Amino acid sequence: MLLSAGSLNPYMLSLHDASVGTFSPLTSGDELSPEQFKVCVFIIIHLKDVSCMLIVPDQSLASLRLINKLGKGQRDKLQQFIMITGASEKVALQVLKESDWHLEGAFDIFYTQPQLQAETDSNTDSNTNSRQLEELYNTYKGKLYLSIHSYPDVDMILVDGISLLCNDLQVDPQDIVMLVVSWHMKAATMCEFSKEEFIEGLEPLGIDSLDKFREKIPFMRSELKDEQKFREIYNFAFDWAKEKGQKSLALDTAIGMWQLVFAEKQWPYVEHWCQFLPARHNKAISRDTWSQLLEFATAVDPSLSNYDAEGAWPYLIDEFVEYLKENGAIQKG
């Protein structure tokens, strides 16, 4: 994309070059990086600056013209949608128009149409700097929390390094978004990131710096709204949270994970379930029980009116339904 500067006076336009972290003056005919193009779009949308013009493909030009005609409220929604989903301007404009500029409706459209997400994934920044990403990994590997020292022989990001990373990302280590981060990395164990997991998990997201990582947090949080991705993240959590070499998940750990994930899902019986287990079960949780509980929470309505006692539910879930009845905890339809 080229910059045409027919009337740059009385000043020279300077745009941030994210790759080197400096400000560089641009002149007419300069080739713009993707990052610089985004800044030009920002100037056009927010500052109404017409001292520069972008020579772009017809399709991008059409999007820019449409953006420039939007009202402030619409531009704010466009920016918010892009920030949360990571979608391109083209996709964001399309779904917002389809939803009559209602953000919740736009999210529903986006997350129920895989082709829109695929287009977003294909537009992820392909210029990820592998060297910078490796330097980011080295910042946290073998770290001791609140210490400048590290363990050079430990080629892993362990719990203290993850705590430091969370602090730099301004995210609570107990925030569910860190489960989503671990899912992207295909992390084998809770509170551990290998170099391979870290780099292969973040590179497809276009992350090679702390700033880019921080900018992606809203997008990763929004992935929990996608039913399919939520299911994948939920099932991933079982192996991620259990101890190495164990087939089952320790009960205390399982309860903590259920409270985390179902707080996002807003299943009304999560606290009843977490009270029922120590009282009536008090054993480790099998993979079958873990997966079937999500099916129960998703398929059975809060009044339990469509619950089939003769169905193929695990015995533990049948017993839980009886527990709810005994305690008068079933919600009315």
> What is the rounded CA–CA span in Å between residue 188 and residue 35?
34
Q: Is the model's pLDDT at 26 over the cut of 70?
A: no
pLDDT in tens, 256-271: 999 999 988 889 999 9
Q: Is the model's pLDDT at 8 over the cut of 50?
A: no
Residue 52 banded pLDDT, cuts 50, 70, 90: very low
What number is the average pLDDT over the span 243-266? 93
User: What HEC string does 222-263 produce?
Assistant: HHHHCHHHHHHHHHHHHHHHCCCCCCCECHHHHHHHHHHHHH
The verdict on domain 130-209 having CATH code 1.10.238.10 is yes
Q: Is 234 or 112 the better-scoring residue by pLDDT?
A: 234
Is 17 buried (19+), middle (13-18) or exposed (0-12) by CB count in 10 A? middle
Does this model's pTM top 0.85? My answer is no
Q: Is 181 or 329 the better-scoring residue by pLDDT?
A: 181
The number of CA neighbours under 13 Å toward the Cβ of 229 is: 19
- Res 147: pLDDT: 52
Q: Is 109 or 29 the better-scoring residue by pLDDT?
A: 109
- Res 154: pLDDT: 76
- Res 329: pLDDT: 84
Q: Is 84 or 132 the better-scoring residue by pLDDT?
A: 132
Percent of residues, the chain, with pLDDT higher than 90: 49
Which of the given ranges, 38-47, 79-88, 233-242, 307-316, has the highest pLDDT on average? 233-242
Contact, 332 vs 303, CB < 8 A?
yes
Average pLDDT for the chain: 79
Note whether 130-209 and 227-326 share their fold.
yes
Residue 100: count other Cβ atoms within 10 Å of its Cβ. Answer: 8
Residue 289: count other Cβ atoms within 10 Å of its Cβ. Answer: 20
In the chain, what are the domain boundaries? Answer: 2-122, 130-209, 227-326
- Res 136: pLDDT: 96
- 2.30.30.220, 1.10.340.30, 3.40.50.1240, 1.10.238.200: which CATH number matches 227-326? 1.10.238.200
